Chain A
Amino acid sequence: MKRWTVARGLRRAVGAVAAASLLIGVAACGGDADQQAGGEASAAANPEGIDDGTKLTLWTRAPLEAQAKALVQAYNSSHKNQVELTITPNDDYVTRVGAAAGSGNLPDLFAADIVYVPNWTEQGLFADITSRIDTLPNAAEINQGHLAAGTYEDKKYVLPFVLDLSVIFYNKKLYQEAGLDPAKGPTTLAEFKEHALAIQKLKKPGVYGTYFGGNCGGCGVFTWFPMIWASGEQPMNEDGTASNLNGAAAKEVYTMWRELVQAGAVAPASKEETGATWVGDFQQGKVGVMPYPATLLATADKSVEVGVTPIPGVNGGQSTFIGGDGIGISKDSKVTDQAWNFMSWLMSDAAQVEVLAKTNSTVARNDLVENKYATDPRVKIINQVASAPDSHTPVARNFQQAFNAAGSPWVTLFRNAVFGDGSSVDADNEAITEVLGQQ
Chain B
Amino acid sequence: MATSLRELVAVPTQRVLTGALALIFLFPLVWAAVASVAPQPGTAQVDGWGMGNYARLAGYQAGLAQYLLNSVLISGMTVIFTLAVSLLGGYAFAMFSFPGKNLLFLATLAILMVPYATLLIPLYVLLNRLGLQNSLVGLALVLTMFQLPFATFMMRISFESIPRELAESAYVDGCGTFTALLRILVPAVKPGLITVGLFAFLAAWNDFIAPLILINDSDKVPLPLAVANIRGQVMGVVDYGATEAGVVVLALPCVVLFLLLQRHYVRGFMSGALKG
Q: Which residues of A contact B (CB under 8 A)?
A: 1-3, 5-7, 9-10, 24-25, 27-30, 59, 62-63, 65-66, 86-92, 96, 99-100, 102-106, 276-280, 283, 296, 299
Tell me, yes or no, whether B161 is within 8 Å of chain A by CB. Answer: no
Q: Is the interface of B mostly helix, strand, loop or mixed?
A: loop
Report chain A residues within 8 Å CB of B233: 62, 65, 87, 89
Tell me, yes or no, whether B218 is within 8 Å of chain A by CB. Answer: yes
A28 and B130 form a contact (CB under 8 A) = yes
Shortest distance between the CB of A55 and any CB in chain B (Å): 11
B176 and A277 form a contact (CB under 8 A) = no
Report chain B residues within 8 Å CB of A99: 124, 212-213, 216
Shortest distance between the CB of B179 and any CB in chain A (Å): 6
Provided the pairs A2-B179, A7-B176, A25-B129 are in contact, do residues A102 and B124 lie with their beta carbons within 8 angstroms?
Answer: yes
Report chain A residues within 8 Å CB of B217: 105
Q: How many A-B residue pairs have CB under 8 A?
A: 89
Report chain A residues within 8 Å CB of B127: 103
Provided the pairs A89-B229, A105-B217 are in contact, do residues A276 and B131 lie with their beta carbons within 8 angstroms?
Answer: no
CA distance in complex: A10, B178 (Å): 8
30 of the cross-chain contacts (CB-CB < 8 Å) are A1-B174, A2-B179, A3-B174, A3-B177, A6-B177, A7-B176, A7-B177, A10-B178, A27-B131, A28-B130, A59-B218, A62-B232, A62-B235, A89-B231, A89-B232, A92-B229, A92-B232, A99-B124, A99-B213, A99-B216, A102-B124, A103-B124, A103-B134, A105-B133, A105-B134, A105-B216, A105-B217, A277-B237, A280-B236, A283-B236
CA distance in complex: A5, B178 (Å): 11
Tell me, yes or no, whether B72 is within 8 Å of chain A by CB. Answer: no
Report chain A residues within 8 Å CB of B112: none
CA distance in complex: A91, B228 (Å): 12
Shortest distance between the CB of B122 and any CB in chain A (Å): 12
B61 and A280 form a contact (CB under 8 A) = no
Provided the pairs A25-B129, A105-B133 are in contact, do residues A277 and B216 lie with their beta carbons within 8 angstroms?
Answer: no
Report chain B residues within 8 Å CB of A9: 178
Contact with A along B119-133 (1 / 0, CB 8 A): 000001001111111
Report chain B residues within 8 Å CB of A283: 236
Shortest distance between the CB of B209 and any CB in chain A (Å): 11
Contact with A along B219-261 (1 / 0, CB 8 A): 0000000000101110111100000000000000000000000
User: Which of A6, A66, A299 gathers the greatest number of chain B CB atoms within 10 Å?
Assistant: A6
Report chain B residues within 8 Å CB of A96: 216
Shortest distance between the CB of A329 and any CB in chain B (Å): 17
**CB nearest to A90 among chain B residues:** B232
A104 and B61 form a contact (CB under 8 A) = no
**CB nearest to B125 among chain A residues:** A102
**CB nearest to A276 among chain B residues:** B232
Shortest distance between the CB of A168 and any CB in chain B (Å): 18
B236 and A279 form a contact (CB under 8 A) = yes
CA distance in complex: A23, B61 (Å): 35
**Given A89-B233, A92-B229, A99-B212, 4 new contacts (CB under 8 A):** A9-B178, A90-B232, A103-B127, A277-B237
Report chain A residues within 8 Å CB of B176: 2-3, 5-7
CA distance in complex: A248, B176 (Å): 87
B235 CB contact (under 8 Å) in A7, A66, A92, A106: A66
Provided the pairs A7-B176, A24-B130, A102-B128 are in contact, do residues A299 and B61 lie with their beta carbons within 8 angstroms?
Answer: no
Provided the pairs A3-B176, A99-B216, A102-B128 are in contact, do residues A88 and B235 lie with their beta carbons within 8 angstroms?
Answer: no
A6 and B179 form a contact (CB under 8 A) = yes
Report chain B residues within 8 Å CB of A27: 131
Report chain B residues within 8 Å CB of A89: 229, 231-233
Shortest distance between the CB of A211 and any CB in chain B (Å): 11
CA distance in complex: A63, B231 (Å): 13
A100 and B236 form a contact (CB under 8 A) = no
Report chain A residues within 8 Å CB of B178: 6-7, 9-10
CA distance in complex: A2, B182 (Å): 15
Report chain A residues within 8 Å CB of B179: 2, 6
CA distance in complex: A24, B236 (Å): 46
Which 9 pairs between the two chains have the least Cβ-Cβ distance?
A28-B131, A89-B232, A280-B236, A6-B176, A100-B216, A103-B133, A105-B216, A3-B176, A86-B218
Report chain A residues within 8 Å CB of B237: 277, 280
A88 and B236 form a contact (CB under 8 A) = no
**CB nearest to B174 among chain A residues:** A2
Shortest distance between the CB of A3 and any CB in chain B (Å): 4
Report chain A residues within 8 Å CB of B131: 24-25, 27-30
B129 and A279 form a contact (CB under 8 A) = no
A104 and B133 form a contact (CB under 8 A) = yes
Provided the pairs A10-B178, A276-B238 are in contact, do residues A103 and B128 lie with their beta carbons within 8 angstroms?
Answer: yes
CA distance in complex: A106, B216 (Å): 8
CA distance in complex: A89, B232 (Å): 5
User: Which of A29, A59, A106, A277 gathers the greatest number of chain B CB atoms within 10 Å?
Assistant: A277
Provided the pairs A27-B131, A104-B128, A105-B134 are in contact, do residues A63 and B218 lie with their beta carbons within 8 angstroms?
Answer: no
A65 and B229 form a contact (CB under 8 A) = no
CA distance in complex: A5, B177 (Å): 11
Report chain B residues within 8 Å CB of A278: 236
A65 CB contact (under 8 Å) in B175, B177, B235: B235
Report chain A residues within 8 Å CB of B124: 99, 102-103
